[in-house]
Structure 1
Amino acid sequence: MDIKRAIDRIPGGLMLVPLLLGALCKTFVPGAPLYFKGFTQGIMTGVIPILAVWFFCMGASVSLRATGTVLRKSGTLVLTKLIAAWVIVLVASLFIPAEGIQTGFFAGLSILAVVCAMDMTNGGLYASLMQTYGSREEAGAFILTSIESGPLMSMIILGASGAAHFEPQIFVGAVLPFLVGFALGNLDPKLRAFFAPGGQLMIPFFAFALGNTVDLNNLLSPLAGLGVVLALAVIVLTGIPLILADKYIGGGTGTAGLAASSTAGAAAANPLAIAAVAPQFAPAAPTATVLVTICIIVTSILVPILTGLWYRRFGEGVAETDRTDEPHYAHPVPVD
C-alpha cells in the first residue's frame, strides 16, 4: 500500500491526516488515553513535549546561507505576513473581548484564534506552488518561513497589539528550544543534517496528539461556518498585502504573495501551546484549535486555485523569463 504517496497528495496531509485520526479518537473513544495509560496515553496526550522537540528540530533546519535574492524574497513575505497579522490583531482586539465572543454567529471567535490563523504560512504548500508558477528564487523563498513556526511569533503579536501580557521568562521558554536548535544547526552543518529531518518526522506525532484535543462534534456547530469565514479573511486580509509586497518590494508578479496567504498546518498546535504557557488563553484554546484547523483545510484548497488563476492572468510568461540557471539555496520542502 502506497500510504505515504496518498497522504502527500493532500495539501498539508502529513499534518491533517494524523490530526483527523486523533480527532476521531477524541470524538468516539475519548476515554482511550486513560484506559490504555502508559506510552499510548503519552502519544495521545503529549502535545507539549512533542512540540518542544519539533521546535528544536525546526530551528536546526534554518540556515541563513542563501543567495541575496532568495533572502530578500523570503524576508519580504515573512515580514509582510507578520506585520499584516499584527495589524489585524490590533484592530480585532478593539472589537473582540479577551474571553472571546460568546453569542451570535461569531460565538467562539477569539483573539487567540485570529492570530494563530493569520500569522503562519504553509511553507510546503507555498514551495510546491512556486515550483509550478514561480521562479527558482521564489521557489526557494520558503527558507525563512520556519521562523514563523511555533507560538513565539503569535505571542509577540499578541503582546505588541496589547491583547495580552507575557512575562519575559514565558517568551524565553517558548523560543529557547528553537534558538538552541538554530544555533547548533548554524554552528555545525553536520548537526543541522542530523536534526533537520526531525522537523518533518515529528509532524504526524504532534498532529495526532493535537487531534486528541479536538471534538469533531464542534464541526456540527456554527463553528464550521465561522471557520470558513475566518479562512476567507486570512486569504483576503493577508493576501492583499502579500501581493503588493511581492510586486513592489520582492520584484515579483504577486503570484508568490498570493501563494503565501494560507494558514500553516502546524498553526493548529499554537492555541494549545500558547495556553500552556499563558493560562489566560486556556478557555479559548479548544475552540481556537477547531477554527484554525478549518482555516488550514479551507486555505489549502482555495489558495492553490486562486494562485493558479492569478498566475494565468498576471504572471504567465513573466515568471518564465525570470527562471535562470543561477544556483539557489537547496533545502528540503517543508511539510506544514
Structure 2
Amino acid sequence: MQIKKAMEKVPGGMMLLPLLLGATINTFIPTAGEFFGSYTGALFKGVLPILAVFFVCVGTTIDVRTTPKILKRGGSLLFSKVGASIVVALIASQMIGEGTVLGGLSVLAIVAAMNDTNGGLYLALMDQYGKKEDIAAYPVMTVEAGPFLTMVTLGIVGLSAFPWQTLIGAVLPLAIGMILGNLDKDFRDLFGKAVPAFVPFFAFGLGAGLDFRKVMDAGLVGLFLGVAVILITGTALFFADKLAGGNGVAGIAAATTAGSAAGVPTIVAAANPAYASVAGSATVMVAASAIVTAILVPFITAWWAKRVNVQLNETVSK
C-alpha cells in the first residue's frame, strides 16, 4: 500500500490529514485522549514537546551565516500580520465599538483571529513547499502567540512589561539545534533527516484541540471571519514576504488563525471587563476561523507554490 504517496497528493496532506483526523476524533469522541491516557493520551495533548524537538532538528540544518536573512524574513511576516490586524481593528472599532454585530462578530474576535498564526500548519507547509530559512523564521513570529499583542492592539492599559522569557524560550530550541549543527556536521545529518517525520504527529495534536461543531455554532459569520483572515492578512503577508526576498509562499502559509487563539478572548475579558459580554461569542468565532483557515490555506499555499515552481522552470529553460 502507498499510503504516504496518497497523502502527499493532497495539498499539505502530511499536515492537513492528521489534523483533520485529530479534529474529527475530538469532535465526536472528545474524551478519547483521557480514556486511553498514557502515551496515547499524550499524542492528543503533546504538541509543544513535539514542536520543541522539531525546532532542535530544524536548527541543526541551518547555517549560522543565514541568520540575518532569518531575522529579516521572520520580522517582515510578524509586523505585516500584526500591522494588518491593527488597521482592521481601527476600522472595525469605529463601526462596532466594544459590542457585537452580525450574529456575534466583535473587534475582539477579529483581532484575536488575525493576530496569531497557526505555527504548526505554517511549519508543515514550509517543510513541504518552503525553504529552511522560512521554517527558521517562525520563532520570530511566536511573539504573536498568546493574548499580549491582542491586548496591545485593543489598547488595554497596564501592559508595559514584555514577556521576554517566553520569547527566549521559543527561540532556544532552534538556537541549540543551530549550535549543534554548526559545530558538528554529524548532528546536522542525524537530526536533519528527522524533520519531516515530526509533521504528522504535531499536526494530529493540533487537530485534537479543534472542534468542527464550533464552525456550525459560528455559522456563516465564522466562515466569513476565517476567509477574511486569509484575504486581509494573506495579502499583507504575501507582499511582505516578497519584499523580504521570498516568493510569497511563506506569506500565504502564515495567513491562518492558531487554534490556541480561541482562548485569548477569555483572557482579555479577565483583564478588561469591558469585553466580558463579547468574550463568549468571540471564542466561538476565533475557533471557527482556526478551522476554516486550517482547511483552506494548505490548498492555496500548494497552488501558489506550484505556480512559482512553474514560473521558475520556465525562466531556467529560457
Distance 1:29 1:265 in 2: 29
Residue matched to 2:163: 167
Distance 1:75 1:175 in 2: 12
Whether 2:295 is the aligned partner of 1:297: answer yes
In the alignment, is the contact (CA less than 8 A) between 1:235 and 1:303 conserved in 2? no
* Counterpart pick for 1:196 among 173, 192, 200: 192
5+ residue gaps in structure 2? 154-158, 271-278
In the alignment, is the contact (CA less than 8 A) between 1:59 and 1:180 conserved in 2? yes
In the alignment, is the contact (CA less than 8 A) between 1:23 and 1:215 conserved in 2? yes
In the alignment, is the contact (CA less than 8 A) between 1:59 and 1:178 conserved in 2? yes
Residue matched to 1:184: 180
* Counterpart pick for 1:263 among 253, 262, 270: 253
Secondary structure of the equivalent of 1:88? helix
CA displacement 1:31-88 (0-9 Å, x = unmatched): 112222222211112222222222322223322457x9xx86x776554333322422
Distance 1:281 1:54 in 2: 34
Q: 1:152: Cα distance to partner?
A: 2.5
Distance 1:119 1:84 in 2: 16
5+ residue gaps in structure 1? 130-140, 251-255, 322-336
Distance 1:45 1:304 in 2: 28
Distance 1:199 1:55 in 2: 8
Aligned AA (1:231): I
Q: 1:29: Cα distance to partner?
A: 0.7
CA displacement 1:138-193 (0-9 Å, x = unmatched): xxx72311223356342599659944754322222232222222222222221122
Counterparts of residues 56-75 of structure 1 (less than 5 Å): 56-64=56-64
> Which 10-residue stretch deviates more, 160-169 or 189-198?
160-169
Counterparts of residues 103-114 of structure 1 (less than 5 Å): 103-104=101-102, 106-107=105-106, 109-114=109-114
Whether 2:213 is the aligned partner of 1:217: answer yes
Residue matched to 2:144: 154
Flag the 1:287–1:219 CA change in 2: closer, same or farther, 3 A: same
Secondary structure of the equivalent of 2:247? helix
Distance 2:41 2:232 in 1: 37
Aligned AA (1:219): V
Distance 1:307 1:188 in 2: 33
Secondary structure of the equivalent of 2:109? coil
Flag the 1:288–1:174 CA change in 2: closer, same or farther, 3 A: farther
Aligned AA (1:62): I
Distance 1:47 1:121 in 2: 12
TM-score of the aligned structures, taking structure 1 as reference length = 0.68
In the alignment, is the contact (CA less than 8 A) between 1:263 and 1:299 conserved in 2? yes
- Quote the RMSD (CA, aligned, Å): 4.2
Q: 1:30: Cα distance to partner?
A: 0.9
**Structure whose residues are more often helix by fraction:** 2
Distance 1:173 1:198 in 2: 22
Flag the 1:302–1:15 CA change in 2: closer, same or farther, 3 A: closer
Residue matched to 1:332: none
CA displacement 1:271-300 (0-9 Å, x = unmatched): 48x97xx96699877864542342243233
TM-score of the aligned structures, taking structure 2 as reference length = 0.71
Residue matched to 1:144: 133
Distance 2:150 2:224 in 1: 29
Distance 2:188 2:313 in 1: 37
Distance 2:11 2:48 in 1: 24
CA displacement 1:105-147 (0-9 Å, x = unmatched): 6357343431234999957757877xxxxxxxxxxx7231122
Secondary structure of the equivalent of 2:43? helix
In the alignment, is the contact (CA less than 8 A) between 2:15 and 2:121 conserved in 1? no
